[in-house]
Amino acid sequence: MEIRFFLTGQDVWNFQKNSLLRPRVLLPMILLLVCIIGIIPILLIIQTSPTNTIFDIAPIVFLLIFICLIVVRLRRRMTSGMARRLAAQGEHTITISPEGFRHTNNLSNSLISWQAIKEIKADAHNLYFIVDNNVLMAHVIPRRAFVGPQDADAFLGWAKSYWAYGHGRPQTGTPGSPTGYEQWG
């Protein structure tokens, strides 16, 4: 099976949002948020006095501004120069077969065996062929590249069938069907 598409900055941003939901990333962020939320009441209790001024509340305001700037900077860093890099890559062609996953664009032509792919995931926006779990390196296929959801499900079904066969695992469902695989919302 073969699919052709152009990646956009929005596709990359959806991948980044998906990667932030991984437990390895999410747990430290939750701990940091709990610490910050715990500090705010302490600062408010310490700061409450009859002579309370705007300068007493300044640390809390600066903390909230700092958190907002971190989020804005992360988004800007992910998208800055992205259009130029994606344009240089040109059209992506993904072909799946029992031999492996072939990814072709203006900059590369690679065949990846199914054993090298750690996991195949999908969400409402993209399909992810994860090559490395530690840094979440993945090949992204936007869902919009398919004619309809049925085509995307068939592609996902065949990919998972080939992947299971390449890893020596029993196949769930029939090849090319999403039976036994996650469904998109």
**What is the pLDDT averaged over residues 27-55?**
70
Task: Find the range with the poorest average confidence among 56-65, 136-145, 159-168.
Answer: 56-65
DSSP lists the bridge partners of residue 110 as 103
Higher pLDDT, 25 or 15: 15
The beta-strand segments (E) located in the chain are 2-5, 92-97, 100-104, 109-112, 119-122, 126-132, 137-142
pLDDT of residue 5 exceeding 50, the answer is: yes
Helix (H) or strand (E) holding 143: none
- Give the tens place of pLDDT for each residue, 123-155: 889 999 988 766 678 889 999 999 999 999 999
What percent of the chain clears pLDDT 90, i.e. is strictly above it? 29
Higher pLDDT, 22 or 96: 96
> Helix 9-20 crosses helix 23-47 at what angle (to 10 degrees)?
70
- Give the tens place of pLDDT for each residue, 61-93: 787 788 778 877 777 776 666 666 776 678 899
pTM: 0.66
Q: Distance (Å, rounded) from C-alpha 181 to C-alpha 173?
A: 8
pLDDT of residue 174 exceeding 70, the answer is: no
Domain boundaries, the chain: 11-82, 96-185
Q: What is the mean pLDDT of the chain?
A: 78
Q: Which residues of 153-178 are buried (b: 16+ CB within 10 A; e: fewer)?
A: bbbbbbbbbbbbebeeeeeeeeebbb
pLDDT of residue 184 exceeding 50, the answer is: no
**What is the pLDDT averaged over residues 103-115?**
90
Q: Distance (Å, rounded) from C-alpha 21 to C-alpha 77?
A: 19
pLDDT of residue 53 exceeding 80, the answer is: no
Q: In a 3-state reduction of DSSP, which class is residue 4? A: strand
